[in-house]
Amino acid sequence: MSGETDLSRLLAGLDPMLDPDPYGYALLGADQTLPAGITPFGLLREAEGMTIIATCTQLEAAGLDSAGQWARITMMVHSALEAVGMTAAMATALTGVGISANVVAAYHHDHLFVPWARREQALTVLRRLG
């Protein structure tokens, strides 16, 4: 099933959903392996090491330091990987109120990680895009 590419339909159907758990970003060295007990939301390999995105509870239980607390907001619209403009529209709207956002795009949905303390404001801003 292919996703939506029309920007107006993407924004109208954005339907952002807030995950109730705080997430964190942790870094493992290139020679380290994923600790037991972590089911990562995201796992990204870079030259400097491996970034793990997981709930803060899982990271803490594994003894990993987290770079802050982040709220995961999932856009429930099925966006196509080749869709143009949705990320820019979300980033522009959040920039307008001074909220940083880290985007993780997956096959069906886009996910934004915003500062935990500003999650409700970010959700309101994203809902207004629709």
Span 20-31, pLDDT tens digits = 999 999 999 878
Long-range pairs, 100-107, Cβ under 8 A, ≥24: 102/70, 104/41, 104/42, 104/53, 105/79, 105/81, 107/81
Per the model's pLDDT, the better-predicted residue between 122 and 9 turns out to be 122
Instruction: Give Rg (Cα) of the chain.
Output: 15
Q: What is the pLDDT of residue 83?
A: 85
Domains with residue ranges and CATH for the chain: 7-129 (3.30.2130.10)
| Among 87, 84, 129, residue whose Cα is nearest residue 105 | 87
Alpha carbon distance 22, 117 (integer Å): 10
| This prediction's pTM | 0.92
Burial of 62 (0-12, 13-18, 19+ CB in 10 A): middle
Q: Is the separation of the CB atoms in 6 and 77 below 8 Å? A: no
Per the model's pLDDT, the better-predicted residue between 31 and 18 turns out to be 18
